């Protein structure tokens, strides 16, 4: 009997040794997979980043007042860019129709001593740094200010390099001046239209700087 029992134990041990036991090795969770509730705790948090395009906020769109206030700052770069279009207006009188409705306001704006600086700092201090205004208004104000700052670069270049009076250099100078006006007017129109639609007008490179400015 003892020999028979010992033989049965040996046969069972042999069967167990030949059968692989299921072993689960720890693995890294794949990105995007949901971990088991028994294996990890789920921590939920809500993060609402500043919207970059589309609607004003997840809860709604800006009101009429915010849309108008967001569009008004783009008048600053438009008024300051008019000097770059003088050659274009002379060559193509029809292009002057784009500024005729604003000529009285432009004349008043440029007649004020340091009018550009007054409006510039007024926007920056009174709107950009004023938390009572919505982020939508402050973002467009910063973007308009940065666009206006870019207009100072060609003026600084003119103080270093005297514009040529004739030849191909004069032609390049005239075309570059006209391009500055067209470039600025294009983005001004884009900013105003998007503002009235209640959407963020994101000008390349300038929009990223505006985001960093207002946080």
How does pLDDT run across 184-199, given as a tens digit for each residue? 999 999 999 999 999 9
| Residues forming beta bridges with residue 57, ordered by sequence position | 60
- For residue 110, is it within any domain? yes
pLDDT tens track for 56-73: 443 458 899 999 999 999
CA separation for the pair 168, 100 (Å, rounded): 31
- For residue 204, is it within any domain? yes
Three-point CA angle 97, 99, 105, nearest 5° = 140
Contact 84, 180 (CB under 8 A): yes
Residue 179: per-residue pLDDT? 93
**Average confidence (pLDDT) over 11-28:** 43
- For residue 32, is it within any domain? no
**Average confidence (pLDDT) over 25-45:** 33
- For residue 5, is it within any domain? no
- For residue 13, is it within any domain? no
Q: Report residue 31: phi and psi, to 5°.
A: -60, 130
- For residue 85, is it within any domain? yes
pLDDT for 138 beyond 90: yes
**Average confidence (pLDDT) over 117-146:** 89
Query: C-alpha 47: how far from its chain's center?
Result: 19
pLDDT for 162 beyond 90: no
Element housing 136 (H / E): helix 135-150
The domain containing residue 101 runs over which residues? 64-214
Q: Would the pTM count as exceeding 0.85?
A: no
pLDDT for 76 beyond 80: yes
What's the total number of domains in the chain? Answer: 1
Tell me the three-class secondary structure of 32-55, residue by residue.
Answer: CCCCCCCCCCCCCCCCCCCCCCCC
Residue 190: per-residue pLDDT? 96
Residue 11: per-residue pLDDT? 56
- For residue 141, is it within any domain? yes
Eight-state DSSP code of residue 11: H
Longest CA pairwise span in the chain (Å) = 123
Confidence of residue 183 (pLDDT cuts 50, 70, 90): very high
Q: What is the mean pLDDT of the chain?
A: 75
- For residue 57, is it within any domain? no
pLDDT for 133 beyond 80: yes
> And the tokens for 38?
């028994």
């Amino acid at each position: 009997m003892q020999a028979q029992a010992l033989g049965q134990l040996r046969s069972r041990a042999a069967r167990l040794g030949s059968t692989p036991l299921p072993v689960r090795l720890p693995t890294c969770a794949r990105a995007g997979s949901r971990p088991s509730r028994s294996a990890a705790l789920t921590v939920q948090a809500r993060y609402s980043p500043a919207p970059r395009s589309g609607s004003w906020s997840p809860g709604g769109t800006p009101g009429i007042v915010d849309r108008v206030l967001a569009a008004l700052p783009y008048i600053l770069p438009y008024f300051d860019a008019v000097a770059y279009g003088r050659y274009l207006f002379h060559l193509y009188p029809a292009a002057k129709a784009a500024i005729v409705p604003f000529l009285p306001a432009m004349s008043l704006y440029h007649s004020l001593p340091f009018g550009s600086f007054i409006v510039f700092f007024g926007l920056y201090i009174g709107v950009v740094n004023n938390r009572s205004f919505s982020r939508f208004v402050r973002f467009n104000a910063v973007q308009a200010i940065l666009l206006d700052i870019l207009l100072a670069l060609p003026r600084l270049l003119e103080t270093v390099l005297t514009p040529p009076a004739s030849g191909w250099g004069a032609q390049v100078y005239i075309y570059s001046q006209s391009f500055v006006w067209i470039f600025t007017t294009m983005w001004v129109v884009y900013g105003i239209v998007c503002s009235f639609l209640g959407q963020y007008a994101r000008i390349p490179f300038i929009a990223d700087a505006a985001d960093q400015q207002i946080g």
